[in-house]
Structure 1
Amino acid sequence: MDDLSWAFYDMKFKEIIREKTENEFEDFFSKVMQIKYKDNFMPCRPWGKDGDKKNDGYLINERHLFAVNGPQSLNQNRMIAKIKSDFSGALDYWEEYFEKWSFVHNQNSLPPRINKELLILSTQYTSIKFTFWGPSEIRNILFSLEEVCIRDILGPVPSKINYTTLKLRA
């Protein structure tokens, strides 16, 4: 990949992380994971009143369940409640299927209260490995893919702009 393409994809990734929230962020995460892990990644979508049973994706071979949260704004109390709800709901429905649980978020870092809540859970449930994924983990997976896959996710690199044509249209 040439430097210009690399710079475009890096900029596009940062824009997506900053702008996609809620379901759009979850969809982006699922697309990256499906392309990387193919049939080993099982996306899970809410369905009627059942919802998704607190499963936003599952890596089958690793027995790894994901809880994805891309809030529009960082409200610590709401995020802590979501973490607790997602994990307890996952235990209620999926416990026999996972040994690893990851909280995936779209923030560059999390405030201390949220980090502490995640650490509390990880010490209470020692049989489950907890990981916390921010943009850098998603970025590492995305940029480990072949360029054609990155283009499928982030879109094509714009071709050269003909400034003369643009001036004529204006």
Structure 2
Amino acid sequence: MSLPRPLLRPPRGGRAMRRRRGGAMDELQRSIYVDRFRLAFHTQKGAAFQDWFVRLAGHAFGADFEEVRPYGSYGDLKCDGRRISTQSVFQCYAPDAMKEADLIAKVDADFHGARGHWAGNMQEWVFVHNDGRGLPPNAVQHLDALRKAHAPLSISTWSEPELLPLAMSLDISALQALFGPAASIAIVDRLVMSDLMPIIDALQRQEPNAGDPPLTPPSAEKLEKNELSEESGLFLRIGRRKSSLVDTFFRKSPRPDLGERIAEAFRMRYAELKAFDLPADTIFKHLQDYAGFNGEPKRQGAALAVLAYFFDSCDIFEDPVVSEEAL
């Protein structure tokens, strides 16, 4: 069944024009912002998700987007925001748990309410939700029935596939406003020994178990063995640009056991996460946080270098099993 094409068009003027004049992101910054988008998309709920979407749409569409806030007994007239040029009315829904009956009731109340309040200024109704699994089948069929009953009015649903490209079309200043600063490859390349200190200081406070095993280098197939994504591979590849600096730091440290102690702390953290049977990329992101991948960009770069060093030099994640035939 063919569905009406949504009225979304590339933003014109305003912030979109500034994006074309601004500098481009590098691949590290882009990967960081994709990660932060997904974190916000999947964790914001209720009014927080609505506020986050309104900010995103405001940066993406500029003056073409108007936020509609609740006012007195009128509420928001079933509209969280609207895009003027396409006469699109947006309504957000991000409950703690998506229940089909509640979802269908929400669609009905919001859609018919919007039709009543914005009938002369609404060519498209957009239902924005954050259930990454998609909508339940009965809700999808219900939306199809509304499309047929109210054609030519367009009815669209927006979720991660629509919102991620919208976010990644923003210029670097808008992404910083939404998600904070992100390290660039140039920042990683300019790291010096002193930049590692905040990360090392935090990690050495971890108390590993006794009996630190020696560092063992992994095989080159480690990423493939652990089914880590290309994105995780990119973080490691960029971090490796300065992993030799981390090695020098530990070799010059007055504490010869410092590297081993931190390696064991990583092993313990990895084992804890592995016990929950989490996907490899989820474990990797937890280890990024454990390494201190937060704060200002230089600290992020230092954390990537440290994480790449320990990924390559100790047994966090598994090495591939070599068959006897290959020996």
TM-score where L is the length of structure 2: 0.50
Change (3 A) 1:76 1:167: closer
Show the counterpart of 2:168.
143
Moved over 4 A (4+): 158-161, 167-170
Across the two proteins, how many residue pairs are aligned to each other?
A: 170
CA RMSD of aligned residues (A): 1.7
2:37 maps to which of 9, 13, 27: 13
List alignment gaps of at least 5 residues for structure 2: 1-24, 188-194, 207-327
List alignment gaps of at least 5 residues for structure 1: none
Show the counterpart of 2:313.
none
- Using the alignment, how far apart are the partners of 2:203 and 2:124 within structure 1? 56
Please list the CA deviations of residues 43-86 of structure 1 after superposition, one character each: whole Å capped at 9, or x if unmatched.
11112221101011100111111111111111110010000000
- Using the alignment, how far apart are the partners of 2:72 and 2:180 within structure 1? 32
- Using the alignment, how far apart are the partners of 2:68 and 2:100 within structure 1? 26
* Percentage of pairs with the same residue: 26
TM-score where L is the length of structure 1: 0.93
Q: Check conservation: 2:34, 2:168, Cα contact below 8 A.
A: no
2:149 maps to which of 106, 124, 138: 124
2:201 maps to which of 156, 165, 168: 165
How do 1:26-105 residues align onto structure 2 when only pairs under 5 Å count?
A: 26-105=50-129
- Using the alignment, how far apart are the partners of 2:196 and 2:144 within structure 1? 50
What letter is aligned with 1:164? I
| SS in structure 2 of the partner of residue 49 of structure 1 | helix
- Using the alignment, how far apart are the partners of 1:14 and 1:76 within structure 2? 23
- Using the alignment, how far apart are the partners of 2:196 and 2:163 within structure 1? 31
More strand by share: 1
C-alpha displacement of 1:152: 1.0
- Using the alignment, how far apart are the partners of 2:78 and 2:124 within structure 1? 14
- Using the alignment, how far apart are the partners of 2:149 and 2:107 within structure 1? 14
Change (3 A) 1:164 1:82: same
Structure index of larger Rg: 2
- Using the alignment, how far apart are the partners of 2:66 and 2:204 within structure 1? 50
What letter is aligned with 2:202? L
